């Protein structure tokens, strides 16, 4: 077994060496963004100004007869972050990728397809994290992705072991659950001009994987969306359900809609609303709404967004608000 492992690693190393010897060019794209953020009156924000820079390296070439592409993203922010994906194109048989946090596949690529001029209506609100607030998906770190397009429909399937977490070469993450998660997204934009539809489903490993509760060790994630664009106006609607099978067992159902309008070349505005029903003790409904405006001139974009929510996170009487101004430069 060890000999086979060594042979496999040697072959892989040889392939990568050949890949390097072919002198494949790597293209680089960079961006820098400066933001001003103002939360609700109960939050102490400290310094509201921040900055983020990012470099994305991408390249492709022939490896043993297969078109292979590599993407590496290095982002400089509080805490720092880097991500990468490696993709092998099998022609008509589709593409196989390993994703280390880029987010190229699965149900999370359609977690919110309602149109917006900037960010989603839940962006930067306190409780809108992970798969909470009716947001589907289990993460995109350390997962395998299969994608293909047939007769105008695009399929993306994602499989991961344990909780989605970035793992270093030669070592496990040591985080999250021990079970297996899988999910998929199926979309189509050829049924009618301007129309796009999609559905997604997933079985996402939960904390019951490592306990003796006897309960289901995966949560069910389901979503469907439709968007339509005509004469610079895009409207969209999305429904999502998260069936929580842990001991807390609080299911969530969300309905969201949005409209984005291109007022003139480079200038767009949007408005959206979203409701999340929580199957908790009070059957609480959270209401979110957001307004955004963005103007792009050349490689510079200035964006403004205001998001608000009531009954935040399914708790009666709790509210949250976030206002953001962003200046983004692309290089």
Confidence of residue 316 (pLDDT cuts 50, 70, 90): confident
Query: Residue 212 has which token pair?
Result: 């003796």
d(CA 172, CA 142): 10
When computed from its CA atoms, the radius of gyration of the chain, rounded to whole angstroms, is: 22
CATH code: domain of residue 217:
2.40.160.10
C-alpha count within 13 angstroms, C-beta hemisphere, residue 75: 15
Is residue 16 included in any domain, yes or no? no
3-class secondary-structure state, position 237 = strand
**What is the domain extent for residue 194?**
24-330
Average of per-residue pLDDT across 49-65: 87
d(CA 105, CA 99): 8
Our CA dihedral for 177, 166, 107, 156, rounded to 10 degrees, sits at -120
Is residue 219 included in any domain, yes or no? yes
CB 217 within 8 A of CB 231: no
Other C-beta atoms closer than 10 Å to the C-beta of 232 total: 11
- Looking at the structure of the chain, the number of domains it has is 1
In terms of C-beta distances under 8 Å and separation of at least 24 residues, what long-range contacts does 37-44 make, across chains too?
37/124, 37/322, 37/323, 37/324, 38/322, 38/323, 38/324, 39/124, 39/320, 39/321, 39/322, 39/323, 40/319, 40/320, 40/321, 40/322
pLDDT of residue 244: 85
Query: Residue 249 has which token pair?
Result: 């067992």
pLDDT of residue 218: 86
Confidence of residue 64 (pLDDT cuts 50, 70, 90): confident
Assess whether pLDDT exceeds 90 at residue 140.
Answer: no
* pLDDT tens digits for range 278-302: 888 778 899 999 999 999 999 999 9
Query: Residue 326 has which token pair?
Result: 């962003």
Percentages (nearest 5) of helix, strand, coil residues in the chain:
10, 55, 35
Residue that is written with structure tokens 């664009």 in the block: 229
Query: Residue 59 has which token pair?
Result: 């390249």
CB 312 within 8 A of CB 289: no
pTM score, two decimals? 0.84
**Phi, psi of 313, rounded to the nearest 5 degrees:** 70, 15
Closest CA to 321 of 16, 32, 39: 39
Is residue 12 included in any domain, yes or no? no
Closest CA to 66 of 15, 111, 101: 15
* pLDDT tens digits for range 258-270: 999 999 999 999 9
Assess whether pLDDT exceeds 60 at residue 9.
Answer: no
Percent of the chain with pLDDT over 90: 53
CB 325 within 8 A of CB 36: yes
Containing H/E element for 269?
A: strand 267-278
Is residue 10 included in any domain, yes or no? no
Burial 44-82, CB ≥16 within 10 A → b, else e: eeeeeeeebebebeeebbebeeeebbbbbbeeeeeeeee
Confidence of residue 40 (pLDDT cuts 50, 70, 90): confident
Assess whether pLDDT exceeds 90 at residue 145.
Answer: yes
Is residue 142 included in any domain, yes or no? yes
* pLDDT tens digits for range 176-229: 556 789 999 999 999 999 999 999 999 998 876 655 555 668 889 999 999 999
pLDDT of residue 282: 79
Other C-beta atoms closer than 10 Å to the C-beta of 326 total: 19
Average of per-residue pLDDT across 34-57: 85
Burial class (CB in 10 A: 0-12, 13-18, 19+), 155: middle
d(CA 223, CA 137): 10
pLDDT of residue 10: 45
pLDDT of residue 271: 98
pLDDT of residue 3: 44
Is residue 17 included in any domain, yes or no? no
Is residue 14 included in any domain, yes or no? no
3-class secondary-structure state, position 220 = strand
Assess whether pLDDT exceeds 60 at residue 14.
Answer: no
Percent of the chain with pLDDT over 70: 80
Is residue 5 included in any domain, yes or no? no
**Phi, psi of 136, rounded to the nearest 5 degrees:** -85, 155
């Amino acid at each position: 077994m060890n000999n086979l492992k060594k042979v496999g690693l040697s072959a892989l190393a040889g392939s990568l060496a050949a890949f390097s010897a072919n002198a494949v060019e790597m293209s680089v794209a960079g961006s820098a963004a400066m933001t001003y953020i103002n939360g609700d009156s109960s939050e102490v924000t400290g310094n509201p100004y921040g900055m983020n820079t990012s470099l994305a390296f991408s390249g492709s070439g022939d490896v043993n007869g297969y078109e292979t592409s590599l993407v590496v993203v290095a982002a400089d922010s509080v805490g720092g972050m880097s991500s990468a994906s490696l993709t092998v194109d099998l022609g008509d048989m589709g593409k196989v990728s390993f994703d280390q946090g880029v987010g190229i596949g699965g149900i999370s690529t359609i977690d919110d397809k309602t149109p917006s001029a900037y960010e989603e209506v839940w962006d930067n609100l306190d409780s809108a994290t992970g798969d909470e607030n009716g947001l589907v998906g289990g993460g995109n770190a350390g997962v395998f992705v299969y994608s293909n397009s047939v007769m105008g429909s695009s399929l993306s399937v994602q499989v991961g072991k344990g909780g989605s977490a970035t793992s270093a070469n030669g070592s496990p993450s040591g985080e999250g659950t021990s079970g297996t998660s899988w999910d998929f997204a199926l979309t189509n934009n050829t049924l009618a001009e301007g129309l796009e539809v999609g559905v997604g489903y997933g079985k996402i490993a939960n904390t019951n994987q490592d306990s003796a509760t006897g309960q289901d060790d995966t949560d069910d994630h389901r979503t469907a969306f439709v968007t339509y664009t005509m004469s610079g106006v895009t409207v969209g609607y999305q429904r999502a359900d998260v069936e929580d099978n842990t001991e807390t067992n609080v299911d969530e159902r969300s309905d969201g809609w949005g409209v984005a309008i291109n007022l003139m070349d480079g200038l767009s505005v949007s408005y959206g609303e979203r409701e999340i029903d929580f199957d908790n003790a009070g059957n609480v409904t959270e209401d979110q709404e957001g307004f955004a405006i963005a103007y792009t001139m050349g490689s510079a974009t200035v964006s403004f967004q205001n998001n608000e929510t009531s009954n935040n996170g399914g708790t009666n009487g709790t509210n949250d608000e976030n206002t953001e101004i962003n200046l983004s430069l692309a290089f």
